[in-house]
Structure 1
């Protein structure tokens, strides 16, 4: 009788132990799942403002960076450098500003919005005159832009628009001025004999206007023609003698809302942008890294 009771007690203990183990396994699985969800929820976000012409290459760089840093979520805001600067001044949260021109970075620094000691020149670019492949245009470059039926041109506050105006000024087509970015689209049209000009907000929109056939020619960056080799013809690669260097500087932006993790992530991603690995990627997208 005692044996039967003892056997029953032992059997009960074994069942409790097994239930406990089973419950532990389920708990571990649930705990692991919760940990994964917590890790995903706890990703550190950084806000990176980039010139529109950097959109494609920076998307690849973010993917590369996340291979080693999956805990960081990079949020891009891509637009003209002038628009991005205005947004930063208006209080938009930003950790890194990657401009297509020195002017906007100079202004950021003058406003006290740049983290001291973080500014660096990253790449150089070139302005090109493009047209839809087999368009039959009579235009060969900037010197005979007046032969175009229509032109896609970025506004003067957009770096590529400023560089185009600078080149036209150096060619004697536009009058000399200390601030070529102040030359209006109407003034450019008048200097070209009244040709129709479609003003665009950023360089990507210039490219789209030409690639879709809305405008006969346009001025964009050489790097923007990446992926459009079968769609566009480059009529002219404008020399630096006419535009000056087209340097892209980067810097961290003062962000009082950032916590320690966000600041550290921004510092690390900026370091990655300046790395040799990133240089190779920039070069594959037609940027010049010899700056």
Structure 2
């Protein structure tokens, strides 16, 4: 999303922007917090911005679930015992930041867990899914869509209370030469027909 935002900012032709995070959309939206839109960029067509989709943070296990991890509650207990090895994203990637919030929700000390050797890290979500797929770890925390792409079955989904929501905003851009068509397409993306396609690959409608 950061790369796409930069391309829009630098003049790439674009009618509709769907971002994997609010931050990048806010950086293009003149009505957003000026502390986020520090360059006072104005690319979002007024009245078109919506929250289109929600991705979910999920707990995944290798095939066969060798450590019989049933849920985030169960994982928290097993991490305290030191009986499982969990993969998570680094702190500089969003999926890692969401995982840190989940650990904090359960009152777990990430630094201590890492020293105890029950956490391993990936530089991005794909590395985490690979560790789970290859069964080099007992579980991993990834997005639902990445679990789907990797053929992993989630055993639990993080709640909003655990780590907040992962919202994908969308908006027509005011630089578009096809604004009416872009508005119609954005409206279509909100239909039940389109949502079935999104849900089939792990997205959910925004609750």
TM-score, normalization by structure 1: 0.53
Give the 3 Å change call, closer, same or farther, for CA 264–155 of structure 1 in structure 2.
farther
Deviation, structure 1 residue 243 = 1.4
Deviation, structure 1 residue 120 = 0.6
Aligned pairs for 1:82-97 (under 5 A) are 82-89=2-9, 92-97=12-17
Of the two structures, which has the highest relative contact order with CA contacts closer than 8 Å and spacing of 6 or more? 2
Q: Pick one of 185, 199, 204 that aligns with 1:269.
A: 185
Count, aligned residues: 189
The Cα RMSD (Å) is: 3.2
Residue pair 1:82, 1:157 contacting (<8 A) in 2 also: no
Could you say which residue in structure 1 is the equivalent of 2:104? 169
Gaps of 5+ in 1: 1-80, 175-187
Give the 3 Å change call, closer, same or farther, for CA 83–212 of structure 1 in structure 2.
farther
CA–CA distance in structure 2, aligned partners of residues 211 and 137 of structure 1 = 14
Q: Pick one of 179, 196, 199 that aligns with 1:280.
A: 196
Could you say which residue in structure 2 is the equivalent of 1:126? 56
Residue pair 2:88, 2:99 contacting (<8 A) in 1 also: no
Larger mean CA deviation between 137-146 and 243-252 belongs to 137-146
Q: Which of the two has greater helix per residue?
A: 1
Gaps of 5+ in 2: 30-36
Deviation, structure 1 residue 227 = 6.2
Q: Pick one of 98, 103, 117 that aligns with 2:47.
A: 117
Moved over 6 A (4+): none
Could you say which residue in structure 1 is the equivalent of 2:23? 103
Residue pair 1:152, 1:210 contacting (<8 A) in 2 also: no
TM-score, normalization by structure 2: 0.70
1:222 pairs with 2:147: no
Aligned pairs for 1:9-88 (under 5 A) are 81-88=1-8
